[in-house]
Amino acid sequence: MRSQNLAILSLCLSNLGCVASQSLPTHEEARLQVLETEAAFAKTMADRDHRAFSTFIADNAVFFCR
């Protein structure tokens, strides 16, 4: 049991190292990604493309109408 726990811990730590080594996008890259995503979302609205629009909405999204 102890060797099994050590193996699992070792695997978790090695995965943590992989995540930590991934580089984050620069501020400009993140800004461009947001702009591109917003433009794509707006296009679904302009095209009245419900299927494409729904790809931007979370599964647990709630809409309120007045």
Task: Inform me whether the pLDDT recorded for 35 exceeds 90.
Answer: yes
pTM for the model: 0.56
Task: Inform me whether the pLDDT recorded for 19 exceeds 90.
Answer: no
Whether 59 is covered by a domain: the verdict is no
Q: How many domains does the chain have?
A: 1
Whether 10 is covered by a domain: the verdict is yes
> What is the structure's pLDDT at 15?
64
Which structural domain, as residue segments, surrounds residue 48? 2-54
Higher pLDDT, 37 or 21: 37
> What is the structure's pLDDT at 17?
60
* C-alpha–C-alpha distance, residues 10 and 22, integer Å: 19
Whether 38 is covered by a domain: the verdict is yes
Higher pLDDT, 19 or 36: 36
* C-alpha–C-alpha distance, residues 61 and 65, integer Å: 13
Higher pLDDT, 51 or 11: 51
